[in-house]
Structure 1
């Protein structure tokens, strides 16, 4: 059938927008059937049949017509009309680009400049009024796949999120040197302790 498995960024439903939008429509039909005390399974099939027979706003052709090359039988009379597959694909691409431009403008979207090796903070859920928007523990970007970034902490913990969840930070060189010196002192103390135990 041409299905391809694709991993979706965690906590980023926008990357799976088509499925999420369709599930919203199905959920609405199920809630309507439940409110009217009807069989929700039967009403869901009715909704799917009507959806497949209705012209799509983007392609301007019904999904059934695109799949089977003909209109499916419904209670309403239909007229046969020929469609050009290339023209439909061009219309689909043009309208999707228009919707993307509108969404990017409304959200003030900007390209992410984060690269592998950058030190970042990760956005966290608000626990209370005193919690900060970002986790104070720094991560380092170790992998990038489009807008999906994977970051790793010094303790080995990794996290994968959309680029909008990260905020780049500049760690002063003095802090890095102090951290290295502290680690060296800890290792030196451990070695001295081990030496005293042997003695």
Structure 2
């Protein structure tokens, strides 16, 4: 076929006679110093065949056989092992053919069991690929690994033995990783930290082939790094149906919860004097609100920062109660306004508990006296329950006993 290609024949003739002319239209003139020939075969840069024009499309098709470009991310993934490192660790490298997104895991062992565990952790986040290209390492061709791929409907594709170029995408990435590791080793830096920095840089940088960052192609968003982007300056732009639906449903949920709790709009403002709700109740007599007076120094939505008694707290606004002033009378009024609220929602009862049924005489219980009156309460055992006796009945009983 070379003898039928005029461009190849012309180049071979020029090589044999050393008659290159700068005015010639031969496309091989700029590379004349890199060309050689064997009979009717034209070679370039050593041993590379120069394909005749009529065969180029055919050769290109053969070269891409089995390398069809996937239509979506994480469909076709390549993997390889890199190592060992000076610390006897290896790197498990995975790269997505569609986005060029990479994942790297440091492993102490390279057995099939360890690789399956590490890949399962990655696939739990990104899903199982349809195709997984590997070399012919024994950990990849083992029965255990083949069964793992078969169980998860992963088509395992191995490269020809001793031909790493067939897995060129991951091999190219390995060269970049090795370069980074050598720099880290020469400067006595942590391998893992340096590789993490490299991976972040790779995944957020527009790729030379696709023109887009790998993270954007696989996640449909740009991962933030140290370098400021447009989003950091103007914020996120654009609306979506999902965002609108999320906002509407959250508002509905908030309205329902507010109705259930009978919530009202808080009137607490900066500088207000408040008391703090007790959340721990050592006993039944613990008041709902603590007696310490705090000042509101910051309000952020439903969160308030209060200061008082030498301490500062962050609390939900529902846990503080505004007081009208700083006097003891105002504080006591605020504390007693919710006096029935206890830690478990129970309230104190002034009635004594039921006593066991027994034949017991009527007794008198004297209430604590105050400046206004001194009351006596007459109780009578009726059917095992102590019940108060009205004044008229009590007086009647007293008169009848006198007679």
Per residue, is there more strand in 1 or in 2?
Answer: 2
TM, length-normalised to structure 1: 0.43
Larger Rg over CA atoms: 2
Per residue, is there more helix in 1 or in 2?
Answer: 1
Using CA pairs below 8 Å that are at least 6 residues apart, which structure has the higher relative contact order? 1
